[in-house]
C-alpha cells in the first residue's frame, strides 16, 4: 500500500487524539489541500502538547517512528518543534508545539475539518496558512519561493472566502503588513 504524507499526518494525529491532544495539519500539506497542490517531503503538524503528554506520545510513536524523547521534552518546554521520522518511508513529521499566544489560540479555534478520502482532516484555516507561510518567508530572509508560492496559491484559490480583516490584523501583529500587501497585490495582478 502506498503511504502518503497525508496518511502519515493522520497516523500521528490519531496518536495525538488518543492521548487527548488538540492538533492540526499546517505547512505544505495544508496549503496543498486549500490552495495549489505541490509535492512535499515532510509533514507539519501543530499540537497543543504539554509535559504530561510526552511519555505517552513517545511510546505511541516508538514502533513506527524514530523520535527522541529528550528533544520532545525540550520542544514542549520551550514551545518549539521536534521531528518524528516515519521509519518505513523516511518521511519527516515536524511537530510544532502550539505557543501560548493570541495567534496560536485563534489558529486552533478557527481550524477547519475537511473530509479527505473518508477521513476527517483538521487543518489550519486558509488565513492562518497564509500568515504562517509569510512568517516562514520572513524568517528565511524573504528568499524562499516555496513559502511565497504556497501563500499565493492559497490566496488565489480562496480569494473570495478569506477573512481579510483577520489577515490584516494578524499581519500587523506579526510585522507582516508589507508582505501581506505585496501578496495581495500580486494575487490581484494574476487574476486580471
Edge-to-edge strands of the sheet including 81-86? 65-66, 81-86, 91-97, 42-47, 23-26, 119-123, 112-116
Q: Does residue 110 sit in the same domain as residue 150?
A: no
Q: Among 123, 146, 161, where does a domain finish?
A: 123
Q: Does residue 135 sit in the same domain as residue 52?
A: no
Q: Does residue 103 sit in the same domain as residue 137?
A: no
pLDDT above 60: residue 2? no
What's the pLDDT tens digit per position in 6-36?
Answer: 899 999 999 999 999 999 999 989 999 899 9
Q: Give CA–CA dist 176/127, Å, rounded.
A: 13
Percentage of residues in the chain having pLDDT higher than 70: 97
Q: Does residue 102 sit in the same domain as residue 48?
A: yes
Q: Among 74, 101, 123, where does a domain finish?
A: 123
Residue whose C-alpha cell is 521536534 = 82
Q: Does residue 172 sit in the same domain as residue 111?
A: no
Q: Does residue 16 sit in the same domain as residue 110?
A: yes
pLDDT given for residue 11 in this prediction = 94
pTM comes to 0.90
Q: Does residue 141 sit in the same domain as residue 114?
A: no
- Provide the residue range defining the domain that includes 181: 126-191
Q: List the CATH number of the domain containing 50.
A: 3.30.460.40
Q: Does residue 146 sit in the same domain as residue 102?
A: no
Q: Give CA–CA dist 42/40, Å, rounded.
A: 6
Q: Among 107, 123, 139, where does a domain finish?
A: 123
- The strand pairing partners of 6, in sequence order, are none
Q: Give CA–CA dist 84/59, Å, rounded.
A: 12
Q: Give CA–CA dist 19/49, Å, rounded.
A: 10
Give ∠ CA 94-173-184 in degrees, rounded to 5.
85
Q: Does residue 39 sit in the same domain as residue 95?
A: yes
Q: How many domains are there within the chain? A: 2
Q: Does residue 108 sit in the same domain as residue 130?
A: no
Sign of the CA dihedral with 25 first, then 31, 36, and 37 last: negative
What's the pLDDT tens digit per position in 129-174?
Answer: 999 999 999 998 988 799 999 999 999 999 889 999 999 999 999 9
Q: Does residue 30 sit in the same domain as residue 71?
A: yes
Amino acid at each position: 500500500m502506498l503511504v502518503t504524507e497525508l496518511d502519515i499526518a493522520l497516523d500521528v494525529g490519531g496518536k495525538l487524539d488518543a492521548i487527548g491532544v488538540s492538533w492540526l495539519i499546517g505547512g505544505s500539506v495544508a496549503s496543498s489541500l486549500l490552495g495549489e497542490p505541490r509535492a512535499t517531503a515532510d509533514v507539519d503538524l501543530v499540537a497543543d502538547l504539554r509535559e504530561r503528554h510526552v511519555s505517552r506520545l513517545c511510546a505511541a510513536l516508538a514502533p513506527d517512528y524514530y523520535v527522541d524523547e529528550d528533544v520532545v521534552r525540550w520542544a514542549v518546554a520551550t514551545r518549539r518543534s521536534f521531528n518524528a521520522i516515519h521509519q518505513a518511508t523516511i518521511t519527516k513529521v515536524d511537530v510544532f508545539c502550539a505557543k501560548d499566544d493570541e495567534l496560536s489560540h485563534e489558529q486552533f479555534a478557527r481550524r477547519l475539518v475537511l473530509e479527505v478520502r473518508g477521513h476527517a482532516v483538521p487543518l489550519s484555516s486558509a488565513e492562518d496558512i497564509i500568515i504562517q507561510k509569510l512568517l516562514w518567508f520572513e524568517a528565511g530572509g524573504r528568499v524562499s519561493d516555496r513559502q511565497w508560492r504556497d501563500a499565493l496559491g492559497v490566496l488565489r484559490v480562496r480569494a473570495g472566502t478569506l477573512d481579510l480583516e483577520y489577515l490584516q490584523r494578524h499581519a500587523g501583529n506579526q510585522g507582516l503588513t508589507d508582505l501581506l500587501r505585496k501578496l495581495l497585490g500580486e494575487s490581484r495582478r494574476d487574476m486580471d
